[in-house]
Amino acid sequence: MPHPRPEYPRPILRRERWLNLNGPWDFAADLDDIGMSEGWQNRTEWPSTITVPFAPNSSASGCTLDPDVQRVWYHRSFDNPNWQGEEVILNIGASDFITTVFVNGHNVGTHIGGYSPIKLNITVALQAGENHLAIKVKDSGSWQQPRGKQAGDTRWPIDYDAIIGIWQTVWLEPVQPTHVEVLNYAFSMADNSLALTINLSDSFDGEVQVTVTKSKMLGNAQAPDTSKADTEEYFIRQVSQQRSEIKTALRIPYPCLWSPDLPQLYDVNIVLLSNEGVLIDNVKSYTGLREVRVSDGKLCLNGSLIYLRGVLDQGYFPEGWYTPIDDQAMVRDIQLTKQLGFNLVRKHQKAEDPRYLYWADQLGLLVWSEMPSGRIFSNNLVASLTREWTALVCRDQAHPCVICWVPFNESWGVWHQSSRPQQRAFVDAIYHLTKTLDQTRPVVANDGWEYSSGDLWTLHLYDSASKDLNHRLNAIQDNPQTTVSDGANSRVATLPGADPSGLPILLTECGGVGFTPEQQQDGHFSYGTWPVNEQELLARIEDLGRGLSSLDALQGFVWTQLTDVQQEINGLLYFDREPKLPIDKLEQIFSAIGEQPNY
């Protein structure tokens, strides 16, 4: 039986040898928290099975679970791959939320966080022949942990069924004690220079060799012959002396820049050699040569003004729920997003699978990368969000498709910034931490309102008519202290003392028009009143499209949302990805917005 999700799970940093552990696993719910006291890490009989990497209660997992269960166990056996002389690393793409791993009954480590990758050295626990891998995962409904849209102790009308446990690929790979862990690229148009930062697991004495070659594949099509450099390789050799971070740069004299219209990629090969010439590590990667800047109040890609036509994507999938069933499910979503006239996707309250980012790199879709929120401010939230956000920025910063970091959304978890300096300081601190980790992209500290720090001024406005949209945005520009959201949760656009003037302005949530052909039910949710038929739905979208086009100060928008998800019916597509209106009609509306900006 073939492995589900058989592709190498970390495309931006690949090794040739690896062992996929996806597939059937033994499984048990630990309702009474007795697994540790009864030694389930050594258990031989298990009550049920689950298909990894799909979370329980997704149809692809083949496993149903009471949603109140907060502890689960996994088990499977595997033969020692006999990678002689090398350390064996267990990788789990993501597991929600506290994951403890046992190999042959030995505790080899614990990871906290539902979205960041897990990496554990299991070499000393391995034995010859058959080995046993047991994994305990603990989750809760607490909003003191980052959980995004996963319904917790209380459920908003915009929350969805929560998950627990493993939801990305599990795999083994061999490495030397010193090996490549993280890559980061930065391209400068001023001198056609590609800077590369290589972070290693330990300090290193030896030689680093980097080869960059233009890829002949371009979004599954042959790359065009754009210069005489199409077949040239660019190579640099650098000596490292007791460093765990290596910085180097190559000049690319005839760069073919990456953009949504031309997603040209360059293959990268990195070799570590000892001083005696022995191979220490060899990883394959890729990059796109592109530069994102905010200059003179304009958001620019590769030196030219870019208008962002974005759509909100919650990242939930038929069959796999939190996990795409296969690569084709991700490709389909990206292709549909582009066919609808969008050049950007805002992955909302979810850190998406790295293979989604790989396909966005390949096919040319910009990605707005966002941290899943908690909703109760506490020292626990501060620690867990900071740790996980740092890991996710490091994981994804090499992807050219990612053009913006968003650590907070709509003040979730930091509700009292205006009255509690500690919360505002946390938001500002994460902004500066993100800029420290990555200076190649803009950072939006708190998306939607209550601007305090950030490189873009982003607002969320849901209105039923374009004239209302115009009126409200004009009022906010005239007075940044204007209230943005309505009702008891009203928020000002800008916090006292902050000054967003001169920054690019974007509406990063708008639209939200709900429609379903079924009888409207009390459980359904969208923004504003619901159209009664497809003709009224089209008219509403056309009206808001005209309103967005008329906002000369705007440099982009994000439409809510790509698909329906459970009770939310404001998708342009149904959850099964069938369009609610003809795609060509929607494309005509959205692709025309911002086509001829009047700045």
Render pLDDT for 342-368 as a digit per residue (tens, 0 to 9).
999 999 999 999 999 999 999 999 999
Looking at the fold, whether 495 and 401 belong to one and the same domain comes out as yes
Instruction: Give a three-class secondary structure readout of 320-345.
Output: CECCCCCHHHHHHHHHHHHHCCCCEE
- Give yes or no for residue 225 having a pLDDT over 60: no
More confident residue, 217 or 347: 347
Q: Is residue 2 part of a domain?
A: no
Looking at the fold, whether 421 and 517 belong to one and the same domain comes out as yes
Mention every residue, 6+ apart, whose C-beta is less than 8 A from residue 75.
25, 26, 27, 43, 46, 132, 133, 134, 135
495-502 contacts at long range (C-beta below 8 A, 24 or more positions apart): 495/417, 495/418, 495/424, 495/450, 495/451, 495/452, 496/418, 498/451, 498/452, 498/453, 500/451, 500/454, 500/457, 502/297
Looking at the fold, whether 167 and 208 belong to one and the same domain comes out as no
Looking at the fold, whether 199 and 253 belong to one and the same domain comes out as yes
Looking at the fold, whether 370 and 399 belong to one and the same domain comes out as yes
CATH number of the domain that 47 lies in?
Answer: 2.60.120.260
Lowest mean pLDDT among 120-134, 140-154, 186-200, 365-379: 140-154
Place of tokens 């040239």: 232
Amino acid identity of 321?
A: W
Q: Is residue 11 part of a domain?
A: no
Identify the domain boundary among 238, 258, 292.
292
More confident residue, 462 or 585: 585
Q: What is the pLDDT of residue 219?
A: 52
Identify the domain boundary among 292, 316, 342.
292
pLDDT in tens, 544-580: 999 999 888 899 999 999 999 999 999 999 999 999 9
Q: What is the pLDDT of residue 222?
A: 46
The rounded distance, in Å, linking the Cα atoms of 396 and 368 is 11
Average pLDDT, rounded, for the chain? 93
pLDDT-derived band at 529 (thresholds 50, 70, 90) equals: confident
Looking at the fold, whether 208 and 254 belong to one and the same domain comes out as yes
Report residue 470: phi and psi, to 5°: -60, -45
Highest mean pLDDT among 229-238, 479-488, 490-499: 490-499
b or e along 115-124 (b: 16 or more beta carbons within 10 Å of the residue's beta carbon)? bbbbbbebbe
Q: Is residue 3 part of a domain?
A: no
Q: What is the DSSP letter of 55?
A: P
pLDDT in tens, 578-594: 999 999 999 999 999 99
Q: Is residue 598 part of a domain?
A: no
Lowest mean pLDDT among 108-112, 216-220, 238-242, 417-421: 216-220
Looking at the fold, whether 313 and 459 belong to one and the same domain comes out as yes
- Give yes or no for residue 144 having a pLDDT over 80: yes
What's the total number of domains in the chain? 3
Lowest mean pLDDT among 100-104, 236-240, 275-279, 589-593: 236-240
Q: What is the pLDDT of residue 487?
A: 61
pLDDT-derived band at 239 (thresholds 50, 70, 90) equals: confident
419-428 contacts at long range (C-beta below 8 A, 24 or more positions apart): 420/377, 423/377, 424/452, 424/495, 426/377, 426/382, 427/452, 427/453, 428/452, 428/453
Amino acid identity of 393?
A: V
Looking at the fold, whether 423 and 437 belong to one and the same domain comes out as yes
Q: What mean pLDDT is predicted for residues 86-109?
A: 98
CATH number of the domain that 216 lies in?
Answer: 2.60.40.10
- Give yes or no for residue 98 having a pLDDT over 70: yes
Mention every residue, 6+ apart, whose C-beta is less than 8 A from residue 155.
none
Looking at the fold, whether 414 and 530 belong to one and the same domain comes out as yes
Q: Partners of 183 in the beta sheet?
A: 198
Q: Is residue 4 part of a domain?
A: no
Q: Is residue 92 part of a domain?
A: yes
Q: What mean pLDDT is predicted for residues 17-38?
A: 97
Q: What is the pLDDT of residue 29?
A: 98
Looking at the fold, whether 168 and 210 belong to one and the same domain comes out as no
CATH number of the domain that 411 lies in?
Answer: 3.20.20.80
pLDDT in tens, 53-78: 999 999 999 999 999 999 999 999 99
Q: Is residue 501 part of a domain?
A: yes
Question: What's the domain range around 586?
Answer: 305-592
pTM score: 0.96
Q: What is the dihedral of CA 509, 511, 517, 519, to 10 degrees?
A: 80
Identify the domain boundary among 292, 320, 338.
292
The rounded distance, in Å, linking the Cα atoms of 73 and 27 is 6
Mention every residue, 6+ apart, whose C-beta is less than 8 A from residue 594.
307, 308, 309, 548, 549, 554, 555, 556, 557
- Give yes or no for residue 331 having a pLDDT over 90: yes
Looking at the fold, whether 463 and 331 belong to one and the same domain comes out as yes
Angle made by CA atoms 429, 433, 435, in degrees to the nearest 5? 120
Mention every residue, 6+ apart, whose C-beta is less than 8 A from residue 510.
460, 461, 462, 463, 469, 544, 548, 557, 558, 559, 560
Q: Is residue 318 part of a domain?
A: yes
pLDDT-derived band at 229 (thresholds 50, 70, 90) equals: very low
Give me 405's structure tokens: 């970091």
DSSP 248-293: EEEE-SS-----SSS---EEEEEEEE-TT--EEEEEEEEE----EE
For 368, the 3-state DSSP assignment is: strand
Looking at the fold, whether 222 and 329 belong to one and the same domain comes out as no
Sign of CA dihedral 31, 35, 36, 41: negative
The rounded distance, in Å, linking the Cα atoms of 378 and 345 is 31
